[in-house]
Structure 1
Amino acid sequence: MTQTDAAAAARPVLNPATGEVIQTVADSTIAEVDDAVRTARAAFTGGPWPALPRSERARHLLRAADAVESAAETLYRLETRNNGRPITETRAQLSRVPEWFRYNAGLLAAQRDAVLPSDGPYLTYQRRAPLGVCGIITPFNHPLLILARSLSAALATGNTVVVKPSETTPLSTLALVEVLREAGLPDGVVNVVTGGRDVGEHLTAHPGVAKITLTGGTEAGRAAAVATAARFARVTAELGGKTPILVFDDADPAAAAEGAAFAAFVAAGQSCVAGSRFLVQRGIHDEFVAALARRAESIRIGDPADPATRLGPLISAVQRDRVLRMIDVGVEEGARLVTGGGVPGDLPGPLRGGFYVRPTVLAGATNAMRVAQEEIFGPVAVVVPFDDEDDAVAKANDNRYGLGAGVWTRDVARAHRVADRLVAGMVWVNDHHRLEPSLPWGGTKESGTGRDAGTESFDDFTWIKTVVVRTAADDADWYGRDEPGRLN
């Protein structure tokens, strides 16, 4: 494994809870991105990794899982300090990272090549081969979980990798790669480049990269799709979202509001599947809004390193200010500010330089408002009333995104019926944000293309070769026959 030694200017990495610099990390130069790809290519073509027996690669992944588990406490605290997510959330999320390595090790050990039906004296089968060098570009909000999701599948299938973490949150990625190195992963198999948009664009367009997996904004995903299409490389892109949560009047409004609060405010709303658009049937609308507001007001804001904290800061001052502007836009459009808005006024001294926004509820909104259509990426819940099932589904699907959706109802038939009609890659019923290594993760429309996790991701890091073997005893002499027979 190699992290390029950057010669470019150092970039300050901030603690968003205080606004203070944690350390500086040098941006990789374009030449160093090229070097990282060459190193990964050399490890693929001349190194042992792709040629290892499946059982041996699986053992490497299992050792990696154990090593990550042993380093968990260090990784939890580092990621919390770097992206501001409360330590309780980070610990709950990152404790699951080893599962992805173990799951893909299991897929590798159990992988079978397909034998295909073929007429005549032929044995036809398929082989899967690794793609080569794969680029993984990760976001600031869930750096290690999203990295592990793609990295484990790419490594299991025999690829080598160049990772580019978000320039705002590179620290836990750098630490994880060191953990993998110490666990015995061969040199050159995983490489890291650091920096901003120019580094990511160069990696995405690099002719030596066979696949890009990107999690980020829709415009970044669109650019990646164009760049990879020019050379027929593959791309998996998990992009933006404006997740609708449909709450029907047979649901308990207080229980639904508890679930809504988690959907809207976990990770300070900085998640592509954050429940940011709550479509609530009119019969329970007011009761739901009141319960959600009470829960929002009770959420403890503070130091992410404190286990009592339930809501941390946004990633940057720029994002904080954008979220505050969007709240103002919602009020200007006619939505009612029920609670929240603004920054907390009672934070202790060191946290006053942090990038906090109070959990916010906007009610009385319409589905046409910007706050109901655009991704805010902050702790803002927008509540829109609906009349009946058809109205709810129409409003839910009336958006350019299609990543996630949620349904709250006690009616089992309705749950299945509505889930089937929603245009979203993932639908949760009476819950939110549930994920497993076996569950494909991704969306439709402007929420991206392809899937992370599951067998879908594992298979997409390979290409298929079909082998046809003639088993007949006679020669295949087409021109020497009186009646050549069928031409395939």
Structure 2
Amino acid sequence: METLQNFIGGRWEEAVGEDVVAVVNPATEEAFAQFRAGSADDVDRAVAAAGAAQPEWAALTVARRVELLHAWADTIAAHADELAELECREMGKPVGIGRTFVAGAVAGLKAAADQALTYPFSETVTGPASGSEAGSDPARERTDIVRHPLGVTAVITPWNFPVVMVLGALGPLLAAGNTVVVKPSERSPVSSARLVELAASSGLPAGVLNLVLGDSRTGAAVTEHQEVRLVHFTGSVGAGRAVGTATGRRLARSVLELGGKDAVVVDAGVDPVATAQAVAFGAFINTGQICTSMERVYVHEGIADEFIRALTTAARTFTIGDGLDPATVLGPLVDARQRDTVRRHVDDAVHKGATVRAGGAVPERPGYFYPATVLTGVDDTMLVMTEETFGPVAPVTVVSSFEEGLTRAAASRYGLAATVYTDDPDHIAAAARLPVGVVWVNQWQGGGPERLYEPARDSGMGATGARAAYDAATRPAAVHIAAADPAVAR
């Protein structure tokens, strides 16, 4: 049984809290690690360490901060297999899939850090200031816009992508000159602890990156701390509202990426078999435990029968097993609670008239497994169509037109992302109006390092990505400089 500790000011420390939390392998239902949940005192020490380290970190050149982040990224890349195995043990993600995501996270960290090299931390705007005398000479005055780091920031991550979520948030925060306290999910803290250890071994100065382990009470202590100037939170809508309330009360910032109920709209003109295979991947990969998983499928009636047959066939190829086995495609859900949510949603749909085309039942074996499931005959009275399922379930609705598909896709309290498959230019243009943060057309996922977006509705708030991430991580100040008046100078 491995015992995890907090990492504060460059040292490992056991939390002062008394509650011990176990980390359970969801494939075996056996605990393999444990830690003491951090208290408000632990959070105080971590924030103090981050605060002490921040001035010196901010005083480094941007190029030097980027260099140190690249060194950390290279170290992570060299330990990709190890990190993928840790993620598998703590939350079930198959190692092969995990390795791919770790590689993507490393590339993303480097790209985000490199954006600091061209970001305008300081720029000059010219022209007479408001209230200047008529006829004044603009050349004798200027205004410099200087963007300062916020200071101490916090990153609170979910359990489904511990490595990706930590690295995705940290690049702009650290490159901009902030220091960070990370609070990972209590369900998957092991890989996050290893990331922090690798950062220290890569030369990141003590106190720049700190780790506090704990549950929701620890998270609350972080979000309520007066010295934490920004909280980057990814998680549930309910928890996100609490974070937004806590930061708003003390006039601090928050960036919130919350739940999703992402729709996919399949038009009549596409290849139904190839598209069904793509949708199966988007709905079932990582056992459906992705914020942007395809959780509602609207398919045109002209290709519906063939699409449903192909989707059902594809679902049956997602073999269940321990993610440490290279043959496994579908690992377990993270814990019994999450599996109960998935089962409840499917059972509710069946009770209300839906048809199970594949999956739909808990297998009789150890581990928190649930098979890739395809449902038809669903409607909007069912939980599986209105609430975030976060499991390997693809509910399919047949629509009479592309326009109906878009309308129904937009009818949700969530607005994270959506995917559209169509070869019609007018339909592509119409898809861009969906009230979501990201629209993918003819490919699920994708987008370069310059992409930025903001979730809509209950899916969060705060633009992120590219320049928006640096805007959030800094505070602009205007410095107006007028040429000295000779009379005043005398």
Band the TM-score falls in, shorter-chain normalisation: over 0.9
Does 2:187 match 1:168?
yes
Tell me what 2:32 maps to: 22
Query: How do 1:42-441 residues align onto structure 2 when only pairs under 5 Å count?
Result: 42-45=52-55, 48-112=56-120, 113-119=122-128, 120=138, 121-345=140-364, 352-415=365-428, 417-440=429-452
CA-to-aligned-CA distance 1:348-402 (integer Å, 9 cap, x gap): xxxx321000111111112343211111111011111212233122101110000
Letter paired with 1:135? A
User: In structure 2, what residue type is equivalent to 1:289?
Assistant: I
> What letter is aligned with 1:285?
A
Matching residue of 1:457 = 469
Give the match's secondary structure for 1:246. strand
Q: Distance in 2 between matches of 1:167 and 1:189?
A: 22
Task: State the alpha-carbon separation in 1 of the partners of residues 200 and 389 from structure 2.
Answer: 38
Provide the rounded CA distance (Å) in 1 between the counterparts of 2:402 and 2:269.
12
Report the CA distance between 1:404 and its aligned residue.
Answer: 0.5
Q: Partner amino acid for 2:242?
A: A
**Alignment counterpart, residue 445 of structure 1, candidates 457, 460, 466:** 457
CA distance in 1, matches of 2:194, 2:93: 17
Determine which of 41, 48, 62 is the counterpart of 2:51. 41
Q: Which amino acid aligns with 2:47?
A: V
Share of identical aligned residues, percent?
37
The one-letter amino acid paired with 1:377 is F
After superposing the two structures, state which structure 1 stretch, 96-105 or 417-426, moved more: 96-105
Q: Aligned partners of 2:78, 2:123: CA distance in 1, in Å? A: 38
Distance in 2 between residues matched to 1:451 and 1:308, nearest whole Å: 39
Q: Report the RMSD for the aligned CA atoms in angstroms.
A: 1.5
Q: 1:172 to 1:475 in 2, by over 3 A?
A: farther
* Preserved CA contact (<8 Å) 1:2 1:190: no
Q: Is the 8 A contact 1:4 1:193 kept in 2?
A: no
TM, length-normalised to structure 1: 0.93
Point out where structure 1 has 5 or more consecutive residues left out of the alignment.
Answer: 346-351, 478-488
Task: Answer with 116-125 or 67-76: which moved more.
Answer: 116-125
Structure 2 gaps of 5+ residues are: 1-9, 129-137
Could you say if the C-alpha distance between residues 441 and 69 of structure 1 is closer, same or farther in structure 2, counting changes exceeding 3 Å?
farther
Specify the code of the residue in structure 1 equivalent to 2:164.
Answer: L
Q: Do the aligned partners of 1:122 and 1:472 also contact (CA within 8 Å) in 2?
A: no
CA distance 1:100–1:476, change in 2 (3 Å) = farther
CA distance in 2, matches of 1:304, 1:98: 21
Matched residues, number: 468
TM-score by length of 2: 0.93
2:453/2:465 contact within 8 Å kept? yes
Alignment partner, residue 14 of structure 2: 5
Shift of 1:420: 1.9
- Following superposition, the deviation at residue 452 of structure 1 comes to 3.3
The alignment partner of 1:123 has SS state of strand
* 2: CA distance, partners of 1:30 / 1:218: 24
Displacement of 1:475 in angstroms is: 4.8
* Distance across 2 between alignment mates of 1:353 and 1:25: 24
Contact persistence 2:150–2:473 (CA under 8 A): yes
CA distance in structure 2 between the partners assigned to 1:470 and 1:368 by the alignment: 65
**Hey, what does 2:5 align to over in structure 1?**
none
- How far, CA to CA, are the matches of 2:381 and 2:417 in structure 1? 19
**Would you say the 8 A contact 1:242–1:374 is kept in 2?**
yes
Alpha-carbon separation, structure 1, partners of 2:448 and 2:237: 24
Deviation at 1:436, TM superposition (A): 4.2
The CA deviation string for residues 43-69 of structure 1, in whole angstroms up to 9 with x for no partner, is: 124xx2111111211111111111111
Instruction: Render the CA deviation track for 1:63-93: whole Å, top value 9, x for unaligned.
Output: 1111111121211111111110111110111
SS at 1:421 equivalent = coil
Structure-2 change in CA distance of 1:140 and 1:333 (3 Å): same
In the TM superposition, residue 290 of structure 1 has moved relative to its aligned partner by 1.1
Counterpart residue type for residue 446 of structure 2 = R
Return the offset for 1:272.
1.0
| Displacement after TM superposition at 1:114 (Å) | 2.4
Preserved contact between residue 119 and residue 467 of structure 2 (Cα < 8 Å): no
Q: Is the 1:213–1:235 Cα contact (8 Å) retained in structure 2?
A: yes
**2: CA distance between counterparts of 1:476 and 1:258?**
76
Report the Cα distance in structure 2 between the residues aligned to 1:303 and 1:442, rounded to whole angstroms: 35
Distance 1:336 1:397 in 2: 24
Deviation at 1:3, TM superposition (A): 4.6
Shift of 1:264: 0.4
Q: State the 1:202 CA deviation.
A: 1.1
Change (3 A) 1:36 1:251: same
Distance 1:136 1:217 in 2: 15
How far 1:306 moved relative to its partner?
1.5
Question: Is residue 152–residue 227 contact of structure 2 (8 Å, CA) maintained in 1?
Answer: yes
| Number of the residue aligned with 1:485 | none
